A and B are shown apart, each in its own frame.
Chain A
Amino acid sequence: MLFYRLLKPKPLAFVPVVLLCLVALAYGGQAKAGSQAWPDAFPKKGVGGVPEAVEKLTIAVDSWGTSELNPWALSSVSFLGDYFNLRLMMQNPNGDLAPAWATEFTQTEEGITFRLNPKARFRDGTPADAQALKLNFEGFMGKFVKEAGYEAPLWSVARVNEFIESVQVLSPTEVFVKTRGPQPTFMWVLGGNGYHSHWYGNPGRLLKGPKEYLKDRAGGGPYKVKEWDPGNRIVFERWDDFWADYPHWHMPQARTIEILTVPDPAARFALLKSGQVDIVYNLPWALAKGLARSEDGVRGVNPGKRGIWTQTYKANGMLVLTFGCPIQQREVAKPPDRVNQAGVKIPQWSLSDVCKDHPTLNTRVRRALNLAIDKQALSKGPHFGFSTPIGSIFHAGSFGARPEKVINPSPYNLEEARRLLREAGYPNGFTMVGHLGQFAGRPGIPETADFIASSWEKLGVKVTWQEHDPSDFVRGFRAGVFSWVPVNLQTWGRQDHSGVVSILYRSTAGYTGVYNDRVEELSFDIPATFDPAAMKRKLAILEDEVLSLEETFPLYGMSLINAYSDRVLAHPTVEFSPHFKHYDLVLLRK
């Protein structure tokens, strides 16, 4: 349970408290769409023959993000920090907001106050106190780059500075972060909840500089880094004096966790089949389809069929079909040298030749192309039932996603599609080139492109898909190359708060979704309040506006599959996640 305390006795000060309770309930309500079986239906270590400790857990993954461990200098996202560094809050396996380094927080329009667990400490014995938290925030803000000898700051330094104005220590276990206006997505970006991209390390080590930090990180998490071969292998060794004793975060069972990167999926599966690893992360759907699914019983618990079993992370990302020519046509009509509400220059584009008279400028054509895609058949066929057709631009189970939108994809109607194309003046179809990126951890994209190509052929529309390296693809949007092509398949990684996703619908977002002036305005309005009811209303309006343009069509939410050997008794983890989590909670039989 979270406890909220008033900072000052003002008459209306009770309002944020109530609102925060509503946030917790709303978020918890969203996440509780999945299993509520944890912890009751799960085995426990030391009980019923489950060993209190085991020697080793070995996991094969396709990727763990960037191969960097310094939380103040990450050049991109990394998933390893959970095991040896701290998060402020976290998700428990039911998806509820749960304490970690901070036991509670209160948020107002001025800022956030964190109350830290007084038992928290780092492995070298130094207290993980308010001063340590302050130094971490300042490290994220880039304040120590020169003096501590860092070549470059954290990749999100500008964004962190947009969130935080200053940090103040109130007591040894209390910190006040003065935010730049209301920042409702703070916890989802910086706090450790949901898709988190910031970890809190030992500032005593971090301030010694990146080279010294590599020698001994002395973090505050349940493990320490024993062996580190960047890009290949990491071995964590349990910290036997780990201070936390929450049900969702405590001394792990496994004394060591070894994580290997094995890029080839067949090779990963072979490791599992031959018993060389206990868990494989991101097993291809084609391999997973014949395996026992824990969801048939208690999700995350070994179904007891004496073989490999699986657990699925749902909605780890989504795929949408976007048509770029209409946005281009809108944008070129506007005056040059515009800036948005944040004062950032809006890119100015000229109308490309390919978009000048393109068929997809016509709404009926776009609608027809969408109607011609049978999303249920796509999911059941090439995706073996592991994707979920969606009708929302927000991820299933995220704050702001409306269940009635999520579970209702747009219909399939080939005859209507043909009629619309005839009306639009293209009875025999046309040809075009589409673009997509093949992202690690986002299965099913090339199969979707093939499926769409064969679906559109029935209308006489011939699309040639060009596949790009994901970095090329994202960069292509930033450079204005792919934003303005007739059609592309865009993918977004999961965000548990749709306020973060809404920013992608800004003209200056870089890897951007479709937008018009109204969408742009809403994307600034949404984070201007943290009243959850108001935010949900605004998110709904933004989504309706985006979908009404009929320039972006959500296709499906992806899933990622963890596969386990029979040695694994249970892996309590969330139903929705963008990447692996909670490996410290895995229970093994020996």
Chain B
Amino acid sequence: MSRYIVKRLIEGSITLWLITLAVFFILRLGGGNPVEYMLPPEASSADIEKLTQAYGFDKPLIHQYWIFNQKLLRGDLGDALSWDKRPTVRVVWDRVPATLQLTSAAMMFAVILGVTMGAIAAARPDSLFDRVGRVVAITGQSMPVFWVGLLLILLFSVYLGWLPSAGGIDRLGLKGIIMPALSLGFFLMASHMRIVRSTMLDVLESDYIKLVRAKGLPTRMVIWKHAFKNASIPVFTLFFVNFAALISGAVVTETIFAWPGIGRLLVDSLILRDYPTTQTVIFFAASFIVFINIVVDIMYAWLDPRIRME
């Protein structure tokens, strides 16, 4: 097992380095001189030239990449071109708590509601609960996140005046996270519900469940103690995949609710052509996804002894 973990960590590091290489060159080869994008229309060619030299964008690309790698080895991902010229690591790190808060809240809502509804729907196939659940699931997966968000704002902020709608927890307190989490979580809840229902239905048809039922165990124990454990592997996967994806940016939700997260930072950095910040956001997101994938692989190996044996 430890050899497996070390192997995955090495593979993950190589993956991350390749990602930095790809991002570095894609941003620069496709986009030209970022200074030309950054400066307002009235900037003169002399201004562009001076700023280009100051930021080192006049150097050959390979030289720029060499400097980038030297800094990377020291843990320095450079300073932002905007954002008060702060170190990009700090710019990104300042946004991480807001993103983690939103992601965690959305996932909690999605998992608790989605898994519960999916399991109950699977235990009572074709019942009224199952049918309503399926409609809710399809609705959740069909409605765009921004639409759900705006509807929630209209109802809870404008008409009822119960909940605030812009800014993060630091500004609004816990009340501020309810609508963004619901908006984002609604879509995720639907996908969790459908996958749990589907896998539970398969598991509930298996022989060992029939045996357990024949032994006279209550339905509650059959579902939660015996069936759910085997149905949970794909749910785990989905949970971590969604979590990792959200960390890298729930852009639409963050835009609607003015949530100060990483998704908005990425979009704003791209618009401003702040290459160092863009690279750092992507590096951070990629690191997180690689880490999550390693964790999931390790957890699979722990959950399923057959994988460990392989």
Q: Which residues of chain B have C-beta atoms less than 8 A from A228's C-beta?
A: 84
Q: Is the CB of A263 within 8 A of B39?
A: no
In the bound complex, do residue B167 and residue A158 qualify as a contact, i.e. CB atoms below 8 Å apart? no
Specify the chain B residue showing the minimal Cβ separation from A229: B260
Cα(A163)–Cα(B69), bound, Å: 40
CA distance A60 to B258 in the complex (A): 10
Smallest Cβ-Cβ distance to B274: which chain A residue: A75
How many whole Å from A467's CB to the nearest CB in chain B?
14
Q: Check B135 for interface membership: any CB of A closer than 8 A.
A: no
CB neighbours (8 Å) of A70 from chain B are 84-85
Interface residues as binary, A123-166 with B (CB distance below 8 Å gives 1, 0 otherwise): 00000000000000000001001000001110111110010000
Q: Is B218 an interface residue (CB 8 A)?
A: no
Query: How many angstroms from the CA of A21 to the CA of B47 in the assembled complex?
Result: 33
Asked whether any CB of chain B lies closer than 8 Å to the CB of A90, the reply is no
Does A77 sit at the interface, judged by CB under 8 A? yes
A151 with B84, Cβ < 8 A, contacts A158-B44, A158-B46 known: no
Which listed residue, A155, A264, A509, touches B39 by the CB 8 Å rule?
A: A155
Which of A75, A214, A275, A511 gathers most chain B CB within 10 Å? A75
Write out, one digit per residue, whether chain B residues 63-97 have a CB within 8 A of any chain A CB (1) or not (0).
Answer: 00000000000000001011111100001001000
Question: Are A274 and B54 CB-contacts (below 8 A) given A68-B83, A344-B46, A472-B37?
Answer: no
Most chain B CB within 10 A, of A76, A228, A275, is at A76
- A471→B271 contact, CB < 8 A: yes
Nearest-neighbor residue (CB-CB) of B154 within chain A: A270
Instruction: State whether B165 touches A274 (Cβ < 8 A).
Output: yes
The chain A residue with its CB closest to the CB of B87 is A211
Asked if A478 and B48 sit within 8 Å, CB to CB, the answer is yes
Would you call B41 and A274 a contact (CB within 8 A)?
Answer: no
Count how many chain B residues have C-beta atoms less than 8 Å from C-beta atoms of the other chain: 53
Whether A67 contacts B44 by the Cβ 8 Å rule is: no
Q: Mind listing 8 A-B residue pairs with CB under 8 Å? A: A67-B83, A151-B54, A159-B47, A214-B84, A232-B260, A233-B260, A266-B153, A479-B36
A508 on the interface (CB 8 Å rule)?
A: yes
The answer for the CA separation of A471 and B39 in the assembled complex, in Å, is 8
Q: How far is the CA of A231 from the CA of B268 in the complex (A)?
A: 8
| CB under 8 Å from chain A, chain B span 9-61 | 32, 36-51, 54-55
Given contacts A75-B51, A155-B51, A508-B45, contact A276 B166 (CB under 8 A): yes
Query: Would you call B113 an interface residue if the criterion is a C-beta within 8 Å of the partner chain's C-beta atoms?
Result: no
In this assembly, does A261 line the interface, its C-beta being within 8 Å of a C-beta of chain B? yes
Interface positions, chain A 500-525, Cβ under 8 Å from B, are: 500, 503-504, 508-511
What are the residues of chain B within 8 A of A510 when measuring CB–CB?
41, 43-45, 48
- A159–B39 CB distance below 8 A: no
> Contact: B47 with A158, CB < 8 Å?
yes
With A158-B44, A270-B157 already in contact, the answer to whether A75 and B82 are too (CB < 8 A) is: yes
Q: What B residues does A270 contact at CB under 8 A?
A: 150, 153-154, 157-158, 165
User: A419 CB to closest chain B CB, in angstroms?
Assistant: 37
Other-chain contact of A231, B40, B154, B260 (Cβ < 8 Å)? B260
The 10 closest A-B CB pairs, nearest first, are A158-B46, A152-B54, A511-B41, A471-B37, A232-B260, A274-B157, A262-B258, A158-B47, A475-B36, A230-B83
Q: Nearest CB to that of B269 among chain A residues?
A: A231
Residue of A nearest to B157 (CB): A274
A141 to B153, CA, bound (A): 48
Bound Cα distance from A230 to B91, whole angstroms: 9
B residues in contact with A472, CB < 8 Å: 37
Out of B45, B157, B165, name the residue touching A344 (CB < 8 Å): B45
Beta-carbon contact of B39 and A75 below 8 Å: yes
Distance A492 CA – B166 CA, assembled complex (angstroms): 31
Within A22-79, the residues touching B (CB, 8 Å) are: 60, 66-70, 73, 75-77
Other-chain residue from B48, B79, B91, B256 in contact with A151 (beta carbon distance below 8 A): B79
Residues of A within 8 A of B306 (CB): none
Cα A509 to Cα B44 in complex, Å, equals 6
Q: How far is the CB of B81 from chain A (nearest CB, A)?
A: 6
What is the minimal beta-carbon distance from B56 to any residue of chain A, in angstroms? Answer: 9
Residues in A with CB closer than 8 Å to B168 are 232
> Considering only CB atoms, which chain A residue lies closest to B98 in the complex?
A232
Q: Is residue B134 contacting chain A, with contact meaning CB distance below 8 A? A: no
Query: Considering only CB atoms, which chain B residue lies closest to A492 in the complex?
Result: B41
Q: Could you tell me the distance in whole angstroms from the C-beta of B50 to the nearest C-beta in chain A?
A: 5
Does the CB pair A233–B171 fall under 8 Å? Answer: yes
| Alpha-carbon separation in the docked complex, A137 to B137 (Å) | 62
What is the bound-complex CA distance between A260 and B172, given in angstroms? 13
Residue B198 is within 8 A (CB to CB) of chain A in the complex:
no
CA gap between A500 and B41 in the complex, in Å: 12
Does residue A241 face the partner (Cβ distance < 8 Å to B)? no
A76 close to B165 (CB less than 8 A): no
Q: Report how far A288 CA is from B149 CA in the complex, Å.
A: 22
A267 vs B153: C-alpha distance when bound (angstroms): 8
From known contacts A475-B36, A478-B36, infer whether A267 and B165 are also in contact, taking CB-CB under 8 Å.
yes
Q: Which of A77, A261, A508 contacts B40 (CB 8 A)?
A: A77
CB <8 Å contact, A264 and B55: no
Chain A residues positioned under 8 Å from B273 (CB to CB) = 471
Decide yes or no: A267 and B256 within 8 Å by CB, A68-B85, A73-B85, A231-B265 being known contacts. yes
Tell me if A264 and B255 are in contact (CB < 8 A). Answer: yes
Interface string of A472-487 (1 = CB under 8 A from B): 1011001100000000
Instruction: Specify which chain B residues have a CB less than 8 angstroms from the CB of A262 in the assembled complex.
Output: 166, 258
**In the complex the two chains form, what is the Cα distance from A156 to B43 in whole Å?**
7
Known: A60-B258, A270-B165, A274-B157. 5 other contacts (CB 8 A): A156-B43, A264-B256, A267-B257, A276-B157, A344-B45
Chain B residues near A142: list those with CB within 8 A: 50
How far is B39's CA from A157's CA once the two chains are assembled, in angstroms?
12
Do the beta carbons of A230 and B42 come within 8 Å of each other? no
Over the window 210-231 of chain A, the binary record of Cβ atoms lying under 8 Å from chain B Cβ atoms (1 yes, 0 no) is 1000100000000000001111
* Chain B residues whose C-beta falls within 8 Å of the C-beta of A73 in the assembled complex: 85
A409 CB to nearest B CB, Å: 23
Q: B272 within 8 Å of A by Cβ?
A: yes
Interface string of B163-181 (1 = CB under 8 A from A): 0111110010000000000
Cα(A472)–Cα(B161), bound, Å: 41
Q: Separation in Å of the B75 CB from the closest CB of chain A?
A: 17
Q: Are B150 and A267 in contact (CB under 8 A)?
A: yes
Tell me whether A210 and B37 are in contact (CB under 8 A).
Answer: no
A271: Cβ under 8 A from any B Cβ: yes
A270 to B48, CA, bound (A): 40
Residue in B closest to A261 when the chains form the complex, CB atoms: B258
